[in-house]
Structure 1
Amino acid sequence: MFVRIKSKSKDKYNKSVQLVESSRVNGKVVQTIVKHIGVAYNDEQLDELRLLAKSIQITLENVDKESLFQAEELIEDLTLEGKYDQSIYSDEDYNVDIRNLEEESRTITGIHDIYGKLYDELKVGSIIANPARNVSVAKIFKEMVISRIANPDSKRGSVADLEEKYGVEIDLDKVYRMMDKLDDIAIAKLNTLSYNKTKELFGDKIDVIYFDATTIYFESFTEDTGEDALKKNGYSKDLKFNQPQVVLALMVTKEGLPIGYEAFSGDTFDGHTLIPSLKILREKYNIDNVVYVADSGMFNKNNLQELDQLEEHKFNYIVGARIKNISKSIKEQILNMNDYLQLNEDIKVKNITLDNGRKLIVTHSLKRARKDKTDREKGIIKLREKLQKNRSVKTHLSTQGFKKYLQLEETKDEATSCDFTITLNEEKIVQDALWDGLKGLIVNKDSKLTNDEILTQYSNLWQVEESFRITKSDLKIRPVYHWKPSRVKAHLAISFAALFLVRHLEYRVKVQYKKLSPKKIKELLLSVQHSTLVDKTRKIKYAIPSKTNVDINKLYRIMGLKKHTTPYILGKF
């Protein structure tokens, strides 16, 4: 099997990428297309399709000959396309009196078809110890991951949903026993799998890793105790400060594909998750010349001192800088706009060497400056309106966002019981306006990246933020209903496995077809259903597939699946 690039037109850049297998027939070599990957219209698309084809080739050449387990009977009947030979049924079997038909069930099949196939291709089930022996554990893990994608809920809710909508029956107690099998060894395998499968898509090379951390709260108000406790109170990004949480650190590529995660106790400061995660990644994988990108929340003196120690091992970093908190002499250089260099129509840039040798890259963006000014002016208008109504200190204690522009002044108003009143600090507003449009990035002193490369790589940090959004909103990783540390870790593993599948499918669809969000893909797959109708008089069971559209058909072709579009017979009984 090999990857073939075939030009479809002599006049335009129009190249088809295929997986082809050679065989000898009657003494002649015959080439058969195993899978059509896609059509490239420029060099970048060609590179992406070629690497994706190579990844699929590796999967096909190493696919297990036998599945680890059989699907539930109903799902097996409806989703394993081509299993039943329709030629054994006569035309008479299809002559149906609709008055004798009764709907037995209506089952969603698209999610299991597509994500089930991708789950098997990426070998997610291999993280279970001895999956061939632990068939039940492997099967339940797969169903819980797919359920997290389809309709995330509590484990009890997921079990009920699988039975009602997907025809899959699972005992809730067995779900919890499966979670107890997701130990540290299985979680380490999941991280390794995600890293290796993502690396395969890019020619075994990952040059940029984006890192961030977030908080996941519990449906509880009590902290855990003990050395291994994860459920702790801390600074909550969800503003649920009275509820314990766990800190989740996530690492993704510039395309948003996850390569690993780590869980920390809820009282861990974001900035303290960076170095442990980098060290863990360093110990697990042989990675050189990797640039780690993180926002300003990761920037503190201790982190950068530790990063100094990693530079000798070729770790590079791009970290957002809090330029207003930097030394006075550096701030003066930042605000001197005379020696900025024009990078493009919107952005000017300046390079400043810090005392420790690190580089500070400062940019001034006209678009960002306009936004900063507009946001500030809107906030000040609201402050002025509020001050006109009431200038008492107590009224403005809770003012958020723009309270830095407020100041206390003594008052001689005998009508009030307070000796102070609130006024606007006009000088502070003028000084703050000087920073409109300015953004700073810290890079290591030995960095060889150009300013353009640094800005481009940092601008892709939204991918990790998007992964967190998908994890929190689409996969609903929060709140956590478990309290045992082992179960909490298992819940995070199931959610990460779901994220792994969701973003890999999103990437395949983008490269082979067009950009479709995970939410849109899920909506399409949830609409793929089968109604099972029974003719009790003639004892024949029929399947009636739902109507599909272009996007759904393309999803099936991308995953190499056939899709029934007309009614067919499931069997006789």
Structure 2
Amino acid sequence: MINHVGTADTKQKIDELIALAEAFKTEMRHARLTSKQTSIYPEHRLGTLSDVQSNVHFHASDLSEENRCILGIHDIYGHIYDHLGFSNPFSNPARRIYSAKILKEMVLARIACPKSKRASVEFLSEKFGIDIDLDHVYQMMDKINDRFYENIQQAALSTALKLTGGKLRVLFYDATTLYFESFSEDAFKQNGYSKDMKFNQPQVLLALFVTDHGLPVGYELFPGATFEGHTLVPVLEKLKKRYQLDEVVFVADRGLFSETNLSYLEENNFKYIVGARIKNTTKKLKTEILNEKNYHYLDDKKEQKIATFNQTDIRKLIVHHDPTRAKKDAYDREKAIQKLTQKMGKSKNPKSLLNNFGYKKYIDVKGDTEICINHKKVDADKCWDGLAGLVTNMKDCDPKQLLAHYRGLWQVEESFRINKHDLRMRPIFHWSPKRVQAHIGISFMAFVCVRYLEYRVSVQSQKLSPEEIRKALLQAQASILHDQKSGKRFLLPAKTNSNAQEIYRIMKIKMPKKIMAIK
């Protein structure tokens, strides 16, 4: 047996392992052609590690701890970084060798402990024994250009293709906002609708494509005031140049729902599933949506219901009723009305309540000062509890399968959470558009590495979150010992937890388990 990939007990798991095994076979064939070793036992950044020879003697009293450093991040993510093709993505690699080294350290620092560039430089020195000049970091960022962004996104796409059997089936798309620690605007960072509720701070808009396994394949940055509904077409145009999209199903939430976007997808023969704004349809269609006779149960549990409506010759609307969602809608509305009632009793300026969209739909204005709750509007809103719609041009596809695809949007939502919280892509501390884009590019590279390892661990072993993986690798540490008599240096690894050991095993990287000589 050359390589044990993993075990599986479901068809989906088996398919994932087969795709991963095919990727390994391709890598081994490439390694044979290039005469590279397929088993990964990399030379350590501290020097070459080797077993302590039997004729080497030293006394514990002569040993002093020179340093204590973290091994796991560089051992695992450092290997992944190179493996994914990030080694030197600059447009002129031969002249950017030093910049490429700095870039790698900044990506690994963002994975290990995301901070500002200044704090990252200090962290690398303190925890990893790696000293980098902060000015050199900024110089590296200023050398990043459009070719760089094309290279890292092509590497991300190639990685997703290798892991999923060479073909993309479903792509999830969404956009989010990233705010700045600043209150001044320019042509790039602009005030706009903030998904972080930072309406008084400038922002940029980040659009992202991920696979049904959460693997990123591309991204695009837009000025902060850009309406997210206007982002889909330019992003798809760029993605089309890198990959044949004919058989891909695009899934997006209702923020991308517009006639312009749907027409573009249809004219280019793209399959799509997009969230629909069912309350904004025609009066006739709304009547049909609210007619219970048009619904049937989704499955034998007889809880959820579904209805299908043809909108055009190639487009249909699917409306889904979920009792759990209905309870949540009712609860949210009741809470909103309670808050509104309290504010109406306290507010000296009732018209100020009209600025709140959540309250506004339940309010009536009488004269210049009197505001009251319109209970007819409340009752009308109750009719829509638990209903959600999606529009698609896949008219022959099982509605149950369409709903399953649409529910997969959590993958891109989780991707934003990882980028915003785990990798702290925001707040952004840079001001110039070039530095802002470089910061996002570095963060995207970190995100690709994180998702790659999360996928490998999930398929080959168990589900671990990026944060659980990060904590496990941060605990893979060692003391660097110095023999004061001989001048020799040794590495004494600390005890590691089972998660770290499993990650090393999966990535086939040799974990030091005893004292090693450093040369």
- Bin the TM-score by the shorter chain: over 0.9
Within a 5 Å distance, the mapping from 1:13-412 to structure 2 comes to 20=1, 33=2, 35-63=3-31, 75-77=45-47, 83-87=49-53, 89-90=54-55, 92-93=57-58, 95-97=59-61, 100-131=62-93, 134-225=96-187, 230-310=188-268, 314-344=269-299, 345=301, 346-354=303-311, 357-387=314-344, 393=350, 396-397=353-354, 401-409=358-366
TM-score with structure 2 length normalisation? 0.92
Query: Match of 2:372?
Result: 423
Identify if the C-alpha distance between structure 1 residues 467 and 497 changes in structure 2 by more than 3 Å, giving closer, same or farther.
Answer: same
Q: CA deviation at 1:208?
A: 0.7
Q: For 2:106 and 2:324, locate their aligned partners in 1 and report how far apart those are by CA, in whole Å.
A: 45
Q: Is this contact kept in 2: 1:290–1:316, CA < 8 A? A: yes
Q: CA deviation at 1:138?
A: 1.8
SS at match of 1:477: coil
Q: CA deviation at 1:175?
A: 1.7
Q: CA deviation at 1:261?
A: 0.7
Query: Match of 1:541?
Result: 489
Query: Match of 1:496?
Result: 444
Q: For 2:36 and 2:100, locate their aligned partners in 1 and report how far apart those are by CA, in whole Å.
A: 14
SS at match of 1:401: helix
Query: Match of 1:561?
Result: 509
1:65-86 alpha-carbon deviations (Å, 9 max, x no partner): 689xxxx998333xx6xx3242
Q: For 2:79 and 2:488, locate their aligned partners in 1 and report how far apart those are by CA, in whole Å.
A: 29
Q: For 2:375 and 2:168, locate their aligned partners in 1 and report how far apart those are by CA, in whole Å.
A: 49
Query: Match of 2:453?
Result: 505
1:461-494 alpha-carbon deviations (Å, 9 max, x no partner): 0100111111111111112232333222221111
Query: Match of 1:11?
Result: none
SS at match of 1:44: helix
- Equivalent pairs counted in the alignment come to 511
Gaps of 5+ in 1: 1-19, 21-32, 411-418
Query: Match of 1:14?
Result: none
Q: CA deviation at 1:390?
A: 5.9
Q: Is this contact kept in 2: 1:391–1:422, CA < 8 A? A: no
- Corresponding letter in the other structure for 1:46: I
Q: For 2:352 and 2:388, locate their aligned partners in 1 and report how far apart those are by CA, in whole Å.
A: 34
Moved more, 123-132 or 509-518: 123-132
Greater relative CO, 1 or 2 (CA 8 Å, sep 6+): 2
Query: Match of 1:26?
Result: none
Q: CA deviation at 1:255?
A: 0.8
Q: Is this contact kept in 1: 2:298–2:304, CA < 8 A? A: yes
Q: Is this contact kept in 1: 2:489–2:517, CA < 8 A? A: yes
Identify if the C-alpha distance between structure 1 residues 475 and 564 changes in structure 2 by more than 3 Å, giving closer, same or farther.
Answer: same
- Corresponding letter in the other structure for 1:536: Q
1:240-278 alpha-carbon deviations (Å, 9 max, x no partner): 233322211100001100011111222211000011111
Q: For 1:151 and 1:552, locate their aligned partners in 2 and report how far apart those are by CA, in whole Å.
A: 17
Q: Is this contact kept in 1: 2:344–2:350, CA < 8 A? A: no
Q: CA deviation at 1:400?
A: 5.8
1:370-393 alpha-carbon deviations (Å, 9 max, x no partner): 111122223323333444556861
Identify if the C-alpha distance between structure 1 residues 146 and 65 changes in structure 2 by more than 3 Å, giving closer, same or farther.
Answer: farther
Q: For 1:395 and 1:354, locate their aligned partners in 2 and report how far apart those are by CA, in whole Å.
A: 40
Q: For 1:303 and 1:137, locate their aligned partners in 2 and report how far apart those are by CA, in whole Å.
A: 40
2:502 is equivalent to residue 532 of structure 1: no
Q: Give the strand-richer structure, 1 or 2.
A: 1
SS at match of 2:60: coil
Structure of larger gyration radius? 1
1:503-534 alpha-carbon deviations (Å, 9 max, x no partner): 01000000011000001100111111111222
Gaps of 5+ in 2: none
Q: For 2:135 and 2:246, locate their aligned partners in 1 and report how far apart those are by CA, in whole Å.
A: 45
1:325-384 alpha-carbon deviations (Å, 9 max, x no partner): 111001000000112011123321111112575211001111111111122223323333
1:162-195 alpha-carbon deviations (Å, 9 max, x no partner): 1111111122222222223321111111111111
Q: Is this contact kept in 1: 2:52–2:515, CA < 8 A? A: no
Query: Match of 1:469?
Result: 417
Q: For 1:355 and 1:450, locate their aligned partners in 2 and report how far apart those are by CA, in whole Å.
A: 18
Q: CA deviation at 1:450?
A: 1.5
Q: For 1:566 and 1:302, locate their aligned partners in 2 and report how far apart those are by CA, in whole Å.
A: 63
Identify if the C-alpha distance between structure 1 residues 391 and 430 changes in structure 2 by more than 3 Å, giving closer, same or farther.
Answer: farther
Identify if the C-alpha distance between structure 1 residues 369 and 393 changes in structure 2 by more than 3 Å, giving closer, same or farther.
Answer: same
SS at match of 2:332: helix
- Corresponding letter in the other structure for 1:220: S
CA root-mean-square deviation: 2.4
Identify if the C-alpha distance between structure 1 residues 130 and 355 changes in structure 2 by more than 3 Å, giving closer, same or farther.
Answer: closer
Q: Is this contact kept in 2: 1:215–1:245, CA < 8 A? A: yes
Identify if the C-alpha distance between structure 1 residues 504 and 379 changes in structure 2 by more than 3 Å, giving closer, same or farther.
Answer: same
Q: Is this contact kept in 2: 1:125–1:131, CA < 8 A? A: no
SS at match of 1:62: helix
Moved more, 211-220 or 354-363: 354-363
